[in-house]
Chains A and B, each alone.
Chain A
């Protein structure tokens, strides 16, 4: 019952030498402790190493710091996930190799279309991983800074038409020009990404405050310019006449400097796989 029946003296005497059995127990305990240390640190580093060696860049939410600073400052709370009106932001899992619980955007399945008008995710971030203004000690990479605050087409006629963003999160690039319908001179009719596609987009002519599914907004256009129609940023992309190597004239989407890398063009592109992609973390090169 009582644990120390023999402890008659409340005051400590000199410690008796340890018995052999006790020494052995202690040694085993020390070994186990060392093993647990190794196990936990191994697990911690296995979660960390893929990030160091990861080659593929991920698209982070708007206002994200450069990747290394982002990983150091993100507290993995998901408040940015919660405020996004189109659920563009997801949290990375163990095997994604970009930091368990950190937010990212997969633009092909759901791009950021700035339906919130005010970059809510930046507002929600409690640690400054997503910021309107970078702190002074963090450098801005050449070409990452936007020349001017991006004008949001949806707010073009408002008193404050711009988004409070100073840096781009990526740049759109026509990665498969051979597949582009505009280049082929083709039109497009139907649901841009098929009936099953769950992605949402804000259509100003439908409802400014309520983004709807892309599948609920079919198109019928003689010459495909979906990427240009869907782009939420003023002057970021347009269809231009270009000359092919053989001298013939063609239409082609051309990305311009105001592109912030939101990914709407990648989401809306009706060919499979997409002809236009976002290069995450890429800067504007002249």
Chain B
């Protein structure tokens, strides 16, 4: 890894914890050349090419479809394992057994460990398995590919964007450092009260249990969150509050699965940033910001693939680091 990319790597971790992206201080020679070349391109030509590309653009939903199918199957597997007693995936998202193997959600495990202050073997095994799984699959991949709240929030987001377009609502943004603050508060609360306070309001846990064991009044809280997101603040829970996202984000720091940005073909039109849950990770696609000709997207990215679908130039793609070398 070059110095420039190393610097970017630590920068992206800070961004995950809530710092705002800054213009890069150093850019590689090659990337600088591309930036300069892009600036020298005749404007008329550029507009013509963009228009041509737009005219032939095929709206893709490939990754979104794959993701929604995965998410729905994963959650239904829980439901049917209990409902039909097929016992493939027993339990709920917080903790389960996949054909007998313990799986335990990292954030729930953390809450229990802090609250109970005693760790039994099964908890270690389940947490370890899940940790390994999401290190391999990309950390916050959990959010967009498995979390049931994510899917509901995506639909709520569509309503929000529709209303915003009609100028009926505006997105009230907040300070992203709040999520880190919540993570610390909930960790301290668990430690101090000896009770898993966050689990009581975790929409992921509430929804997962509702899908498996039947609906309850706790769903009102989930509805309240969705209402807030539709009318006040776009994707507020996932963006500014959810400590689960941050826990998995940290896991994703070392994950090989990620989105890769290629500077050369990009027209810097910003379509990707409009669909992104975490647009701060796509800061690099802004004109003049890419530090190299190929830049991996940071750990706060949920690997949802919406940007890959949205990009008209194919400048964003999934990448498994080291896979090319292996094959």
Which residues of A are interface residues toward B (Cβ below 8 A)? 1-5, 7-12, 29-30, 32-33, 36-37, 40-41, 43-45, 47-48, 51, 68-69, 71-79, 81-83, 91, 93-95, 99-101, 124, 126-128, 135, 137-138
Contact = CB atoms under 8 A, between A and B. Distances in A.
B120 interface: yes
B39 A2 contact: no
A74 B117 CA distance: 12
B235 to A, nearest CB: 13
A212 to B, nearest CB: 18
B90 A79 contact: yes
Contact of A7 (B27, B115, B117, B288): B288
Interface residues of B, number: 75
Interface string B271-305: 00100000000000011110000000000000000
Given A2-B268, A7-B287, A135-B118, A94 B199 contact: no
A36 B236 contact: yes
Contacts of A2: 267-270, 286-287
B218 interface: yes
Given A2-B270, A7-B286, A10-B27, A100 B199 contact: yes
Contacts of A37: 178, 181-182
A67 B122 CA distance: 21
B117 to A, nearest CB: 8
Interface in B167-186: 172-175, 178, 181-182, 185-186
A48 B175 CA distance: 26
A7 to B, nearest CB: 5
Contact of B116 (A1, A12, A32, A69): A69
A72 B113 CA distance: 9
A63 B165 CA distance: 56
B94 A94 contact: no
24 contacts: A1-B268, A1-B270, A2-B268, A5-B287, A7-B286, A8-B39, A12-B22, A32-B174, A36-B233, A41-B185, A43-B201, A44-B200, A68-B194, A68-B195, A75-B108, A79-B96, A82-B91, A99-B195, A100-B200, A100-B201, A101-B206, A126-B122, A127-B112, A137-B118
A79 B92 CA distance: 8
A198 to B, nearest CB: 15
A48 B288 contact: no
B132 to A, nearest CB: 17
A40 B174 CA distance: 14
B149 to A, nearest CB: 14
B141 interface: no
A93 B196 contact: no
A127 B241 contact: no
Contacts of A75: 94-95, 104-105, 108-109, 112, 196, 199
B216 A94 contact: yes
Contacts of B220: 94
Given A77-B96, A93-B216, A137-B118, A10 B23 contact: yes
A91 B268 CA distance: 51
Nearest to A92: B216
Nearest to B97: A79
A197 to B, nearest CB: 20
A81 B90 CA distance: 10
A33 B269 contact: no
A72 B115 contact: yes
B39 A128 contact: no
B25 interface: yes
